[in-house]
Amino acid sequence: MAAFAIVMMVCLVLIHGGQCKGLFNAAEALHKAKDAENGDIGPDVKAFNVLDYGAKPDGKTDTSINFRRTFEAACNFHGDAMMVIPEGEFLMGPVLFSGPCSNPSLLIIQVNGIVKAQSNMAYYRGGGDDTDWITFQAIDGLIVSGRGTFHGQGSQVWGFNDCARKSNCVRLPATLKFIKVTDAIIRGIKSIDPKGFHIMISMSRNFRIFSVDLQAPGDSPNTDGIHMSKSDLVKISKTVIATGDDCVSMIHGSTNISIKKVICGPGHGFSIGSLGHYDDEADVSGIIVKNCSLRETDNGVRIKTYKTDSPSKASGIIFQDLIMTRVRNPIIIDQEYGNTKYSQPSKVRISDVHYINIRGTSASKVAVDLLCSASNPCQGIHLDNVNLQYAGPPNDDMPFSSNCRNARVAYHGFQSPPPCR
């Protein structure tokens, strides 16, 4: 009670415009994000327009310094603030937007223009492991909202991606990276053709992504829609993802993740992992993927781990009310992912996984494929009302089936394909 009273006293001192960073109100923040998208922000919010800081909307002049100066002015303002990216086309190289900020409420980034990335990789000092395109860092309270577009111009550099040939490759820059960001809402924006990931979230908490449109060709390499690690309380809803890799990927340290009403395809589906890639990985838990649809994706819902001696756990996972259309590998656990040359089994423990009301069509004859670790068999796998029908090419006599290895599976209700024997 004493701690709560202190927070309330601080809020009474800092509050301005109905928000308090100490007590994040998701409903109010979402309403504010909608207002920002519509330009309906009241006079209490000071606008910092990139045009006033010298940015030229001609699509040719590099505006990196102008965007950074605009952000710094808005971030350091001791009142409610909004950075405005108006209509027009803005060319920009890599930029770091770093806090902490001085605003008493959530800092707003209103995006209505087209922001295009420099295509020359020399701007990025060798790749995303060193420099991503637009990075938000160490910010407590952030809204990125609008009808604008981030264009990564990835088609000009995808040829440099060598991750299909090298396990220790350097990934290409992500379009939007959020690191150590808390209490954030991303709404309404569009991302086209990223060099690497569309959106990357790491070491962040209390993140909401609504009504976002992420687009890239199905053959674009490693263009994950939303990739997250070491983050807690992430909610994704009413979003369209068409890309060349996982629509949503959740690796080590992803906890309490909710994915609902997301349309995925093309892409590699919804993936937990790869896990067991690094030493001392944090566990993954509390994942729910619900009321989503997948169309012609390479995978449906997947858990994947490497065959290494790096131990961790993945548990408390629900895949529910999913519609699949001509999906390859609709339900898959692969604990021999990526490195079959190694003899040791995966040390990642997978347990308490529920597949509920999964229906639609499969492009592969093995629609349920549970390949678990020999030393750490999957525990508590439940399939409840799975209704998948084969819709692939009629080119063999192989039966429509399930495959299970080192998995303890409980079945409930209707099952198609038939359960493992």
Cα–Cα distance measured from residue 289 to residue 353, given in angstroms and rounded to the nearest whole number: 11
User: Coil, strand, or helix at residue 344?
Assistant: coil
CA dist 206 and 76 (Å) reads 23
Residue linked to tokens 């993927």: 289
391 SS3 class: coil
What is the residue whose two structure tokens read 């001609």?
A: 58
**Cβ contacts of residue 395 below 8 Å, gap of 6+?**
none
Q: Quote the tokens at residue 72.
A: 């710094």
Phi, psi dihedral angles at 154 (to 5 degrees): -65, -30
CB 339 within 8 A of CB 309: no
Name the β-bridge partners of 285.
255, 315
Three-state DSSP class for 52? helix
337: region left, alpha or beta (phi > 0 left; psi from -120 to 50 alpha): beta
Q: What is the distance between the alpha carbons of residues 122 and 110, in angstroms, rounded to a whole number? A: 29
CA distance 179 to 390: 42
The set of catalytic residues is 245, 268
Nearest CA to 218 out of 178, 177, 266, 146 is that of 266
∠ at Cα 390 (315, 272), nearest 5°? 20
φ, ψ at 76 (rounded to 5°): -90, 0
Alpha helices for 232-307 (secondary structure H): none
Tokens matching residue 156: 């000009």
CB contact at 8 A, 88 and 113: yes
| Contacts with 274 (C-beta within 8 Å, 6 or more apart), sequence order | 251, 304, 305, 306, 337, 338
Contact between 179 and 136 under an 8 Å Cβ cutoff? The reply is: yes
Q: Burial level of 22, CB count in 10 A (0-12/13-18/19+)?
A: middle
